[in-house]
Structure 1
């Protein structure tokens, strides 16, 4: 029997291993469209179409077939002849080297054919002969070096042709003559050196032509006259990255036929001249000179060919140029002008070149990265900005230009076209310091300004919040000396009525101290406010006047000391960034819920880089609309948020924390979110465990529907085994059986050892029970009878011990009775009220003590002289103290202990009475005094 069981196990193991090693090639029928089936055979490593299995699908019903990423695919003639209704075929990213004339036989209905990223070297005249309805043909990223004249002869319905990234050298006459419906032609990144005169013949409907990144010199020998004669409908022409010569002229009679052209991207020379050949381009609106820009000088006549055109946008990106004063004088339609990354030009020279645009209405003037490589700073004064002030421009950018100062009257002269028209200003990433009045006047003006970007100034020396607004620099000393009461101080921050975006991040070295109330009285339209990296340290402020604010960023401040009322009046806030905010973890643990209580519209919260080890998981419980939550770069060892509160969450970033595992409830909550909608989880940078106890988490990471770190469903994470070995979740899954057997073996050994120990223990217990059955029965009965004494088990609450002197009798039977019994309902046993004449004194004392919950000893001078009370009674009180009733005796001194004679029995008793049960009371203490309540509490107190 054992041999048969062992053989059965080996057979099962062999079958499992065989199944694991084999790989069936089965295509996936992804979905069924209205008119047919979509089939995905990509990444299946098929070698021929005969290996493809499409379970339950009629091939004549397939309209889309994806065979991409099958490197060993062998294409034979008529391979897809059964796919009679196929419309879209993807053969990209294979290793196809040739196609014969019958390659696509039987695919007359094909509309899209993707042959990109293969190794095709030639296309014959009959390759596409059987594709009369083809509309889109992708042949890019192959090795085609030549095209036969009639290769596209039968593609009369073709609209999109991509031949980019091949080895073509010459475009011969009539090569595209049959493509009368072609709209898009891509010939970029080839080796073209020449165009024949009739190369573009037949392309009457071409709209987009890409000839970029070739070797087409801008000469008449390369571009023969009238080469673009048939391109009357062309709108987009890319000729950039062809000619690296610095000296030259554009050829004549080449561009004059492009009457519909709207965008021209072309190489340049040191001096450019767009002459009469460009005069016919009256529909052009974009001139892109940024690619391979060689310009270093623009004359007044450089753009004379466009003086009657609709040219509205010129891009001078990466052009180190010098411009004559009237270079733009004859461009009345110019609407957008970009000067970007001219590192060795100054912004002042650019501004002075705007002379020809005065009194013109424009959408955008952009200066970015101008003069940032020069070894000095720039100053924008009234003289250099005189032409800009006369331009009615909507968007003005002057960022990363190494500007040191913007003079007070440079841009803010009232009633100038610039001041009346500008809506968006960006002067970020400069080095502005000192007088900031120009920027502040813009911020506070009543003009149309809608957005102002001031962020990332290298040096900005304003150090006080009041100085920021009023420009009264005397207030610096006032702030520095601490001459204001921060609990009463309120600062009003006035902005433009129309402003909706304000970015002030990183413009100050510090902005402290801060007021408690920070009001924005005119910011009714402000939607986005960025106050990051301003050096906040005392964050006891509350924001007022920002009821319509939607985005607030306070990143990079240090607000360890903050108030939970900070966000109370930001009713419309949807995005809050508090990264690197310096939170006190205990504040978030205990008061975090209060900080976020009133911002229930939040959809995005960033709490990253705060070094938080813990937080309240229900801190964001009222944010039911939360979409994204960022807890990255902290020290969390467990899930910091209760996912049950956030059913709409789309992204949770827990990367770079201290998570070693995820509990089963946390994994279930994450899976539930992923099943509800697209959900992403980021876990990179956590010390995940691959130990036996955590194998279920490793398996979950491999099979969960959650999108992990943007890599789909099977992200690979570094993890550590129980022996300290560093491995990965992918490796563990690849060796799953060995890990599982090892872990199960350890567990089974533990279970077996535990079972053996339990058996031994049962034997020992049975032996002891059998030998001592009678003793165990009596011990069990004693345990059942044993119980701790409670107050309700006794007839009276307290037995009062006092002397027979008249004053002591009055003290016990009058004062104590009124102050404790009548006032607090304590049941007292007083011998003068309870004992009957003729009672045996010793037996009565013992009986009274046994019937009372507590014993109260009233120590007076008369008691010290009463041998009976101070002797026998005190001894009986001492004997009443047991382990179960250690607080049974209460001693009340009505005299100073040092004034009383020595009482040995009382001295011995005091050693057994805790200090809290010893009271000192004056005889004349009124009944309403607190000391009597204390005595009553001591009497009635349980264990």
Structure 2
């Protein structure tokens, strides 16, 4: 009974209508010798009996099960994990899980359970995690969870519970996590939490539990001495009230508390026992509008280090509101109404001379119809706080005064490491930011992105079209080809984001040099209105992330990233590439950033690229080509074995070729791989049915939805449908497409038969002519070098010097050195032979004819007359390169030779050589001559 990886079991199940449905459930081998039976998403309405003893995990989620017999699972004696979420179960009897004693996790969430019978889970003694959320359970009996002594996680959220009765959880001695959020709880009985001695996390959020003694009896949490996290938010919507006494005093181990608030919040002695409290979450339905000096009196001896005010309608914060919180380390004010950032900063009096990690202001006063100015008066207390991270984002700040944040030798300036002033409306003096950037302090990151508007007093030329006004940035005269701008930065800075702060920077310096940015890892320069990208970055050899989104880089230089050796993430979305740039020079642009892991080229109207432009980026994990006009996969996927995500959404792809699909499947077989295709005009036509089927069965995760993603597509007739509908009607589409193909095949067969009849008729009537024509064709063949007795017949005059040149020099240089078979008259001819017949025979027996033209040759009537004419006649359509002419003297000093002149018109220029008579045998020219003789075209 060995089950191998990839084994497929056909499991027959019966649907509600009584018909038999063939369902393929996949068996997958898991760690620790377990096996998962995956039957999810199969529209099952009932379960038949299963007898596979070594299955340890069963997934029947996302079906239509309304009930099952206990015997259905009795054969799964080794089952440890059972997932039945997202079905239609309405009730469970006491024997529903009989025979599953080894079960450890059970997920019954997202069903329609209205009640849980007594001892429903009594047969699961080893159960550790139980999900019952998103049902309609109204009550819980005291013995529902009996015998679950090993249960550690219980989720009852999103049900209809109204009251927690005594001893409901008394048998859950080892429970660590209890979720009761999003119910209709109105009351807790005094013993509701009895037995939960080991509970660590309790969620009672989003109920109707008013913060009164009638809802929370005294010491209702008495057994929760180990509780660390408590959620009570989204319960009490009354703006007036106070926390009930003797309710929270037993939570001595509590570290996190999220609780509803009143307009005037007061944490008194009832919270004094929470000495280990670390985080106080006051951001959910916050109603605080007044924070007094005594509001946090109950935490004065605690370790409270984080307070989050979110969405509060703060009107007044007294001067010493935080004086009693010496351990406060992080303070957040998020989206607070009726306040300005100045008021918040002035409330920090009680935190002076403390060392803190973070002060964050976000969305303070951004709804007001006016802008805010942060001056030295507003920050007088802030400057005395040693804080590492300071944020004032989205606060409608128009101006930060020159010394508001940068007074030298103050605790704030000495300790500041991260500054976030993004999403404001900064306008005017920017000296504060220049001082931060050029300081020698510990600053590591500066975020100034996404300003509504931003100008710099005294440097308005940065946003003008006139480059001549930028004199203060450069030394000497202006040269747009060598102009360099230097940017001094703090030695430790690792993050700078100034995206969207300037209306436009046009024109730009060619070279940007960062003089002290050795530790800079991230640089955001998006949406700065660059009018060109002709610059090159220097001094950023350790930069890992660069964003240039939204600039205009039509005239980008291919040397832009040459010195960014450590770049891992590059964003070039919406930069307006020249349509030909990535096709012709894309490889040069990316050739030096071989460490790249993420590349964004979306929204650039790209229609084509060089598929191998990223062949050196072997470490790429994410590629974004969305919102372009691509008609095929723009890169060679074989070069990117580490790729995890490819975004091709919103393009012009109608199909994926078989090679592209194979490459995608190969990536998915190596590791988890995601492909985004939504928004493409896919076709479901006959030629593309194999791709539609691939979309349904591929292991690639499609558009973040896992397998079997549904896409809009167009059929052969132009009808708009979806891939899911095509697969549901697969046989209909297949028959229609096969019918067209079969008609084509039948028509072709008929035409072949007609053609065969015609050919037969012609052959019968012209049999004799065809036989003779066939014999003529068989005799015809193109001449080849091996068909001839010699490689070359050498023609020369009878002068002594010419004879020596042919029989000695040429023989040694060509025949002996390169093995060319020469036919030399003085070596081959016998005395008394007929000269004319011999010349004709020699030419017919030779592959090539070589003429050695000298002055004596021109005066030799036989050589320059008859022999040249015969050489001319030897040139045919099948042998156009047969004659080679070698001039041993300059043609212009030789007498006129009419026959040779006519021959030269027929000889290609490459077959005419000019050689000096004294050229040694080892010279390259003789090698060229040997090649011309032996070459076969």
With the shorter chain as reference, the TM-score category is 0.7 to 0.9
| 1:346 CA displacement | 1.1
1:609 aligned residue: 603
Contact 1:692 1:743 in 2 (8 A): no
**Alignment pair present for 1:752 and 2:776:** no
Contact 1:680 1:708 in 2 (8 A): yes
The CA deviation string for residues 434-490 of structure 1, in whole angstroms up to 9 with x for no partner, is: 221111221221111111111111112259999779xx999447899x972111211
Counterpart of 2:532 (choices 506, 518, 538) is 538
Question: Aligned ranges for residues 805-884 of structure 1 at < 5 Å?
Answer: 834=858
Which whole-Å CA distance do the structure 2 matches of 1:465 and 1:605 have between them?
A: 34
2:730 aligned residue: 735
Question: Please, which moves more after superposition, 520-529 or 179-188?
Answer: 179-188
The CA deviation string for residues 384-411 of structure 1, in whole angstroms up to 9 with x for no partner, is: 1111111111111111111111111110
Which whole-Å CA distance do the structure 2 matches of 1:170 and 1:562 have between them?
A: 68
Contact 1:413 1:419 in 2 (8 A): yes
Which whole-Å CA distance do the structure 2 matches of 1:742 and 1:278 have between them?
A: 80
Counterpart of 2:698 (choices 680, 692, 704) is 704
Question: Aligned ranges for residues 604-683 of structure 1 at < 5 Å?
Answer: 604-683=598-677
| 1:102 CA displacement | 3.5
2:110 aligned residue: 117
Counterpart of 2:683 (choices 659, 675, 689) is 689
Question: Please, which moves more after superposition, 304-313 or 93-102?
Answer: 93-102
**Alignment pair present for 1:223 and 2:216:** yes
Question: Please, which moves more after superposition, 320-329 or 111-120?
Answer: 111-120
Contact 1:46 1:73 in 2 (8 A): no
1:505 aligned residue: 499
| 1:756 CA displacement | 4.2
Which whole-Å CA distance do the structure 2 matches of 1:216 and 1:848 have between them?
A: 115
Contact 1:381 1:409 in 2 (8 A): yes
1:811 aligned residue: none
Any idea what SS the aligned residue of 1:701 has?
helix
- In structure 2, relative to structure 1, the CA distance for the partners of 1:755 and 1:441 (3 Å cut) is farther
1:930 aligned residue: none
The CA deviation string for residues 490-546 of structure 1, in whole angstroms up to 9 with x for no partner, is: 111111110111112111111222222211120111111121122222322211111
The CA deviation string for residues 698-738 of structure 1, in whole angstroms up to 9 with x for no partner, is: 33333333222223332233333343333333333333432
Any idea what SS the aligned residue of 1:24 has?
strand
| 1:331 CA displacement | 0.7
2:233 aligned residue: 240
**Alignment pair present for 1:493 and 2:487:** yes
| 1:881 CA displacement | 12
Contact 1:78 1:102 in 2 (8 A): no
- In structure 2, relative to structure 1, the CA distance for the partners of 1:766 and 1:786 (3 Å cut) is farther
1:359 aligned residue: 353
Contact 2:67 2:90 in 1 (8 A): no
Question: Please, which moves more after superposition, 701-710 or 371-380?
Answer: 701-710
Which whole-Å CA distance do the structure 1 matches of 2:229 and 2:77 have between them?
A: 37
- In structure 2, relative to structure 1, the CA distance for the partners of 1:885 and 1:343 (3 Å cut) is farther
2:28 aligned residue: 30
- In structure 2, relative to structure 1, the CA distance for the partners of 1:275 and 1:593 (3 Å cut) is same
1:127 aligned residue: 120
Any idea what SS the aligned residue of 1:492 has?
strand
Structure 1 unaligned spans of 5+: 1-20, 798-825, 855-868, 888-939
- In structure 2, relative to structure 1, the CA distance for the partners of 1:616 and 1:62 (3 Å cut) is closer
Any idea what SS the aligned residue of 2:32 has?
coil
| 1:757 CA displacement | 6.2
- In structure 2, relative to structure 1, the CA distance for the partners of 1:676 and 1:30 (3 Å cut) is closer
| 1:576 CA displacement | 1.5
Which whole-Å CA distance do the structure 2 matches of 1:724 and 1:612 have between them?
A: 26
| 1:138 CA displacement | 2.7
- In structure 2, relative to structure 1, the CA distance for the partners of 1:521 and 1:765 (3 Å cut) is farther
Which whole-Å CA distance do the structure 1 matches of 2:904 and 2:323 have between them?
A: 110
Contact 1:26 1:52 in 2 (8 A): no
| 1:347 CA displacement | 1.0
1:328 aligned residue: 322
Question: Please, which moves more after superposition, 255-264 or 34-43?
Answer: 34-43
| 1:877 CA displacement | 12
Counterpart of 1:303 (choices 296, 299, 302) is 296
Which whole-Å CA distance do the structure 2 matches of 1:833 and 1:77 have between them?
A: 113
The CA deviation string for residues 867-910 of structure 1, in whole angstroms up to 9 with x for no partner, is: xx9xxx99x9999999x8999xxxxxxxxxxxxxxxxxxxxxxx
Question: Please, which moves more after superposition, 654-663 or 505-514?
Answer: 654-663
**Alignment pair present for 1:174 and 2:171:** no
Which whole-Å CA distance do the structure 1 matches of 2:770 and 2:45 have between them?
A: 82
Contact 1:769 1:776 in 2 (8 A): no
The CA deviation string for residues 756-797 of structure 1, in whole angstroms up to 9 with x for no partner, is: 46436635764796475599689979997999xxxx999999
Contact 1:691 1:722 in 2 (8 A): yes
Counterpart of 2:510 (choices 509, 516, 541) is 516
**Alignment pair present for 1:346 and 2:363:** no
The TM-score with structure 1 as length reference comes to: 0.78
Contact 2:763 2:770 in 1 (8 A): no
1:440 aligned residue: 434
Any idea what SS the aligned residue of 1:491 has?
strand
| 1:548 CA displacement | 0.9
| 1:70 CA displacement | 4.1
Any idea what SS the aligned residue of 1:698 has?
helix
**Alignment pair present for 1:378 and 2:375:** no
- In structure 2, relative to structure 1, the CA distance for the partners of 1:95 and 1:483 (3 Å cut) is same
1:205 aligned residue: 198
Which whole-Å CA distance do the structure 2 matches of 1:68 and 1:514 have between them?
A: 58
- In structure 2, relative to structure 1, the CA distance for the partners of 1:845 and 1:340 (3 Å cut) is closer
| 1:48 CA displacement | 4.7
**Alignment pair present for 1:416 and 2:410:** yes
The CA deviation string for residues 541-574 of structure 1, in whole angstroms up to 9 with x for no partner, is: 2111111111112121211212221111111112
Contact 1:486 1:515 in 2 (8 A): yes
Which whole-Å CA distance do the structure 2 matches of 1:224 and 1:366 have between them?
A: 37
Counterpart of 2:179 (choices 159, 163, 186) is 186
The TM-score with structure 2 as length reference comes to: 0.78
Question: Aligned ranges for residues 757-776 of structure 1 at < 5 Å?
Answer: 758-759=755-756, 762-763=759-760, 766=763, 770=767
- How many residues end up aligned between the 2 structures? 814
Which whole-Å CA distance do the structure 1 matches of 2:178 and 2:872 have between them?
A: 112
Which whole-Å CA distance do the structure 2 matches of 1:620 and 1:611 have between them?
A: 19
1:815 aligned residue: none
**Alignment pair present for 1:454 and 2:465:** no
- In structure 2, relative to structure 1, the CA distance for the partners of 1:254 and 1:836 (3 Å cut) is closer
Any idea what SS the aligned residue of 2:195 has?
coil
Contact 2:473 2:485 in 1 (8 A): no
1:859 aligned residue: none
| 1:100 CA displacement | 3.1
RMSD: 4.1
Which whole-Å CA distance do the structure 2 matches of 1:41 and 1:503 have between them?
A: 49
Which whole-Å CA distance do the structure 2 matches of 1:408 and 1:525 have between them?
A: 26
Which whole-Å CA distance do the structure 2 matches of 1:554 and 1:246 have between them?
A: 48
Any idea what SS the aligned residue of 2:620 has?
coil
| 1:140 CA displacement | 2.2
Contact 1:637 1:660 in 2 (8 A): yes
Any idea what SS the aligned residue of 2:310 has?
coil
- In structure 2, relative to structure 1, the CA distance for the partners of 1:716 and 1:768 (3 Å cut) is farther
Contact 1:544 1:569 in 2 (8 A): yes
Counterpart of 1:165 (choices 109, 134, 158) is 158
